């Protein structure tokens, strides 16, 4: 196993060219350099924010290979390998391992609403096929599958490389329940409510805000670990303001198209989203106004980071 994953890992957008026809590798490398300079310990490719359902197999291989090569020795790289077809998920997992990924993040099969035995068999097939760590991804709002603590404990007990979970059920108490059910073996990463999750035993955060506020969002865990809880709460409050602005729009396009628009506003353009997600370009003045408001909040976060003594990205 690799060194344990800890802290805030950016679950990244996937940069596309202007016309959306290809992955923009040059933009990806600039974006990754920004992440590294901002102190991000690791990135997670091809999650929900990364529009994994719109990426071809050839693009998947290209993105993983280029990212691993560019990050090697600087940041860890986890890769989403979720699929509703178990052999395809296994193939994606083996590909990521072959290309040098440090770990995987995998949600249960979506659409079918599988039974617990079916979920177990899915993860068992993946776990047996690879040697790198597997992070379960519990997000019942997108998969319509809720992996309860007793199932997480079963997976942890029987599958030796299943040692992480992104817990995004919106029930922060689940963090404590999972730690208890697995007797502390499972490493829980928050999917939301970072401060509260940390207090209940989370060791990290799968961080969408890292796409446009990496310095501030990455600081959350160092602040919490240093006992600077009030400052971490202040950062979380500003991030919550950004979330509320995004949520006023359509729930599907928010954390993809606005993440990309805000990354561009920060100086790291990564293109727009692919269908069926609503493009930022199509939002017109509404989108531009929201980005203007959120940009002021990002500037506020930068001032807070200066005040808290965190160095600017070089």
- Contact present, 77 and 42 (Cβ < 8 Å): yes
For residue 247, the model assigns a pLDDT of 87
Distances (CA, A) of 13 to 28, 152, 254: 9, 27, 12
Known active-site residue 137: yes
* Total Cβ atoms within 10 A of residue 142: 13
Which of 137, 164, 198, 209 is the catalytic position?
137
For residue 56, the model assigns a pLDDT of 98
Which of 92, 123, 164, 166 is the catalytic position?
166
pLDDT (tens digit, 9 = 90+) per residue, 104-118? 999 999 999 999 999
**pTM score, whole prediction:** 0.96
For residue 214, the model assigns a pLDDT of 97
Known active-site residue 312: no
Q: What is the CATH class of 7-226?
A: alpha beta
Handedness of CA 13, 15, 21, 23 (dihedral sign): negative
pLDDT (tens digit, 9 = 90+) per residue, 231-270? 999 999 999 999 999 988 666 656 789 999 999 999 999 9
What average pLDDT values come out for the chain (314 residues) when binned by 10 residues? 87 97 98 97 97 97 98 97 98 98 97 96 98 97 94 98 96 97 98 96 97 97 97 98 87 79 97 93 93 97 95 73
Which residues, in sequence order, are bridge partners of residue 80? 105
Structure tokens that stand for 110 in this block: 């979506």
For residue 1, the model assigns a pLDDT of 45
Strands annotated E in 33-98: 42-45, 76-80
Write out the DSSP string of 4-36: PP-EEEEE----B-TTSSSB-HHHHHHHHHHHH
d(CA 86, CA 108): 10
Give me the residue spans of the domains in the chain.
7-226
């Amino acid at each position: 196993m690799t060194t344990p994953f800890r802290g805030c890992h950016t679950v990244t957008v996937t940069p596309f060219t202007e016309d959306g026809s290809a992955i923009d590798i040059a933009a990806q490398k600039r974006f990754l350099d920004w992440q590294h300079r901002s102190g991000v310990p690791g990135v997670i490719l091809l999650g929900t924010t990364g529009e994994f359902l719109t990426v071809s197999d050839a693009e998947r291989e290209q993105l993983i290979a280029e990212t691993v090569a560019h990050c090697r020795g600087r940041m860890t790289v986890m890769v989403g390998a979720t699929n509703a077809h178990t052999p395809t998920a296994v193939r994606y997992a083996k590909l990521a391992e072959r290309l040098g990924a440090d770990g995987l993040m995998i949600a249960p099969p979506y659409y079918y609403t599988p039974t617990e035995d079916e979920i177990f068999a899915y993860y068992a097939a993946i776990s047996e096929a690879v040697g790198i760590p597997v992070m379960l991804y519990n997000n019942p709002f997108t998969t319509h599958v809720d992996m309860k603590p007793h199932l997480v404990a079963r997976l942890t007990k029987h599958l030796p490389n299943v040692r992480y979970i992104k817990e995004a059920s919106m029930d922060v108490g689940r963090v404590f329940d999972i730690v208890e059910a697995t007797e502390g073996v499972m490493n829980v990463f928050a999917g939301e409510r970072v401060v509260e999750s940390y207090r209940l035993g989370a060791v990290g955060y799968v961080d969408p805000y890292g796409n446009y506020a990496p310095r501030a969002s990455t600081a959350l865990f160092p602040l919490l670990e240093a006992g600077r809880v009030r400052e971490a709460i202040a950062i979380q409050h500003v991030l919550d303001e950004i979330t509320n602005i995004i949520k006023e729009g359509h729930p599907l396009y928010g954390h993809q198209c606005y993440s990309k628009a805000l990354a561009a506003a920060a100086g790291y353009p990564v293109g727009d989203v692919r269908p069926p997600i609503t493009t930022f370009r199509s939002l017109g003045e509404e989108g531009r106004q929201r980005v203007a408001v959120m940009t002021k909040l990002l500037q506020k976060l930068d001032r807070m980071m200066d005040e808290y003594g965190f160095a600017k990205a070089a």
